[in-house]
Amino acid sequence: MVTNKKQQDKEQQGLLNISVSMESGEYTGDLESELFIDVDDITSSFVDQPGKYAWWAVLYAQAQGRVEETKSRLENKSEYVKKTLIGEIDSAVRLELEEIGEKVTESKVEKLIYQHTSHVEALEELATLRLELAKAVADAVTLRAAKDAMEQRKDMLISLGAHLRDEGSNTELSIKKERAKEILRNKRK
């Protein structure tokens, strides 16, 4: 598939606009603007870097916490369904069948367990928790990428600062060389 530059830029912008669910609500951010380094005002970028990194690191940590909490809820619910709920429904179904005088068979009990309202509701809750976990994992992955990007920004700032210092030193050296040449020319005259 061949795409033009404008299309690629538009697609990239969409990737850098992130939206994640947090405990406090939905967070939407423009990662491109967060990562921007103004080379004409690099001092501001140096000053802003720790706060930006802290922000994204905290969001990532919260997202990881949400993943672990959702995993725990899913595991607990799943264990409850397997070890407790099915046993409770099994007993109730067998009792009902006996009360109405029907023969109790394993296949009939199993069928009624899976059709029981409590079991169906529990399965729906498990499906909802699985979706919630998938969203939490996706958010954590996105925020990990944002946190890593902030680390890259820090590295770039360090490199850029060193480059600008070297460039400044080289400019001073060039000026000193030109002055020395001028002095030598003037002395020869």
- Domain map of the chain by residue range? 41-146
What separation in angstroms does the CA of 2 have from each of 5, 11, 120?
A: 10, 13, 48
Q: What is the pLDDT of residue 1?
A: 41
Q: Is the pTM of this model over 0.85?
A: no
pLDDT in tens, 105-164: 899 999 999 999 999 999 999 999 999 999 999 999 999 999 999 999 999 999 988 888
Residue 6 in this model has a pLDDT that exceeds 60: no
Give the pLDDT mean for 65-82. 96
Query: Whole-angstrom Cα distance, residue 71 to residue 58?
Result: 20
Give the pLDDT mean for 83-96. 92
pLDDT in tens, 26-55: 888 888 988 998 888 888 999 999 999 999
